[in-house]
């Protein structure tokens, strides 16, 4: 399959937080603004950035939990949100699943693990009632859990085990595309590697496609084929994982990568850290032009006047920066 599985075109999502007495929006959070990318079948696209930059909003909009303010998201060329509003929404929604960040809050404490994993089977009528129990046990075994634990409740499991239950629930719907919304950030470091290895094994065996949202750049590098860097609701860089880590082009990406500790103490002691002054601006009133310009040591007058476009340098390395792509 040569065409992308997922395409995002100029996607924006704004949240109105204050209205006038007549209902007119007075204050709006520009959580995501004019974001575009694609994901090929079987690929993992990593999405990184600081807290509050809009990563989770992108993921939740892709699976239909949020309606976009502007732009479109496509699955195999079909508008995700338009299809979800149609009569065929049930089968289409089955193909889009999400693994949430907090395994303690994303599982219903009143339901057994078997019922949690079996709920997608019931909703989408994927198996006959006589085969339901066997399929649930297969899914639990697939994610590394004991099938006999299906009768237990979420509070009886550790954080890593609960996240495995969440993964099994997503797999039950037989999806094509899964948004992984920081699935390891709430887990112990020793458990994080196990979950990442599980997700990689599932991708290879089933052919899953991931949007992997995370803070840990080292983990994203290990799992992702390509990485998109996001700042204050906009993409600033998108490239192959190896290219981004070896030659980051955007000043924000360079600063993020300089903060990753190196295992060699001698190299770590001699390398130069790039510090970003100030605080992240408010998404209610973002800066004009380039949103990173207020913290960028390379900012030029044009950065305040024109919004840089995410442009390809000819090798598939996309950067939104006037320093990298000077205006002609």
218-244 pLDDT tens trace: 888 889 999 999 999 999 999 999 999
Q: Confidence class of residue 102 from pLDDT cuts 50, 70 and 90?
A: confident
Residue 328 domain flag? no
Predicted pLDDT at 93: 86
Q: Check whether residue 156 and residue 204 sit in a common domain.
A: no
- By CB atoms closer than 10 A (0-12, 13-18, 19+), residue 114 is buried
| pTM metric for this prediction | 0.92
Q: Check whether residue 159 and residue 14 sit in a common domain.
A: no
Q: Check whether residue 72 and residue 170 sit in a common domain.
A: no
CATH number for 287: 3.40.50.300
Whole-Å CA distances, 203 to 40, 175, 179, 197? 13, 11, 13, 10
Tens digit of pLDDT for each residue in 31-62? 999 999 999 999 999 999 988 899 999 999 99
Q: Confidence class of residue 321 from pLDDT cuts 50, 70 and 90?
A: very high
Q: Does pLDDT of 1 surpass 70?
A: no
Predicted pLDDT at 261: 75
Q: What percent of the chain has pLDDT over 90?
A: 65
The two tokens of residue 183 are: 């699935």
- By CB atoms closer than 10 A (0-12, 13-18, 19+), residue 303 is buried
Q: Does pLDDT of 89 surpass 80?
A: no
**Radius of gyration from C-alpha coordinates of the chain:** 21
Q: With left for phi above 0 and alpha for psi between -120 and 50, is residue 78 left, alpha or beta?
A: beta
Q: Confidence class of residue 82 from pLDDT cuts 50, 70 and 90?
A: confident
CA angle in degrees (0–180, nearest 5) for 16-18-22 = 100
Predicted pLDDT at 251: 94
Nearest to 137 by CA among 126, 128, 127, 148: 148
Structural contact between residues 313 and 319, judged by C-beta atoms closer than 8 angstroms: yes
Mean pLDDT computed over every residue of the chain: 90
Domain count along the chain: 2
Task: Classify the C-alpha dihedral 266-270-272-277 as positive or negative.
Answer: positive
Predicted pLDDT at 67: 93
Predicted pLDDT at 92: 86
Structural contact between residues 240 and 280, judged by C-beta atoms closer than 8 angstroms: no
Q: Confidence class of residue 268 from pLDDT cuts 50, 70 and 90?
A: low
Q: Which residues of 165-204 are buried (b: 16+ CB within 10 A; e: fewer)?
A: bbbbbbbbbebbbbbbbbbbebbeeebbebbbebbeebbe
d(Cα 93, Cα 100) in Å, to the nearest integer? 16
Q: Check whether residue 276 and residue 211 sit in a common domain.
A: yes
d(Cα 99, Cα 169) in Å, to the nearest integer? 9
Nearest to 313 by CA among 324, 298, 327: 324
Q: Confidence class of residue 114 from pLDDT cuts 50, 70 and 90?
A: very high
Predicted pLDDT at 328: 52
Residue 136 domain flag? yes
Out of 174, 191, 206, a domain closes at 174
Q: Check whether residue 196 and residue 82 sit in a common domain.
A: yes
Residue 324 domain flag? no
Q: Check whether residue 205 and residue 167 sit in a common domain.
A: no
Q: Check whether residue 76 and residue 204 sit in a common domain.
A: yes
Out of 125, 145, 174, a domain closes at 174
Mean pLDDT of 135-161: 93
Q: Check whether residue 23 and residue 71 sit in a common domain.
A: yes
d(Cα 318, Cα 130) in Å, to the nearest integer? 51
Residue 275 domain flag? yes
Q: State which residues form the domain around 118.
A: 110-174
């Amino acid at each position: 399959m040569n065409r992308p599985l997922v395409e995002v075109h100029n996607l924006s999502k704004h949240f109105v937080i204050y209205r006038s007495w007549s209902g007119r929006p007075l204050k709006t959070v520009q959580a995501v603004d004019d974001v575009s990318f694609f994901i090929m079948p079987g690929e993992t696209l990593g999405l990184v950035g600081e807290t509050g930059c809009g990563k989770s909003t992108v993921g939740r909009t892709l699976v239909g939990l949020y309606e976009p303010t502007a732009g479109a998201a496509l699955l195999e060329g079909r508008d995700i949100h338009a299809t979800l509003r149609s009569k065929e929404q049930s089968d289409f929604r089955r193909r889009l699943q999400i693994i949430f960040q907090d395994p303690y809050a994303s599982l219903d404490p009143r339901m057994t693990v078997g019922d949690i994993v079996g709920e997608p089977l019931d909703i989408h009528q994927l198996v006959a009632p006589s085969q339901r129990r066997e399929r649930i046990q297969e899914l639990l075994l697939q994610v590394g859990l004991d099938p006999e634990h299906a009768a237990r409740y979420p509070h009886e499991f550790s954080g890593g085990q609960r996240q495995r239950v969440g993964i099994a629930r997503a797999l039950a719907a037989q999806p094509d595309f899964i948004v992984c919304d920081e699935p390891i950030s709430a887990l112990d470091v020793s458990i994080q590697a196990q979950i990442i290895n599980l997700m990689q094994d599932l991708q290879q065996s089933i052919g899953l496609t991931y949007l992997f949202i995370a803070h840990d750049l080292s983990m994203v590098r290990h799992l992702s084929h390509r990485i998109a860097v996001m700042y204050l609701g906009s993409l600033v860089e998108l490239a192959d994982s190896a290219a981004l880590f070896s030659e980051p082009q955007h000043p924000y990406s360079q600063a993020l990568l300089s903060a990753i500790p190196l295992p060699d103490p001698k190299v770590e002691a001699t390398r130069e850290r790039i510090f970003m002054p100030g605080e992240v601006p408010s998404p209610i009133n973002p800066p004009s032009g380039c949103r990173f310009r207020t913290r960028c040591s390379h900012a030029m007058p044009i950065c305040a006047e024109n919004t840089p476009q995410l442009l390809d340098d000819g090798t598939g390395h996309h950067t939104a920066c006037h320093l990298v792509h000077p205006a002609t």
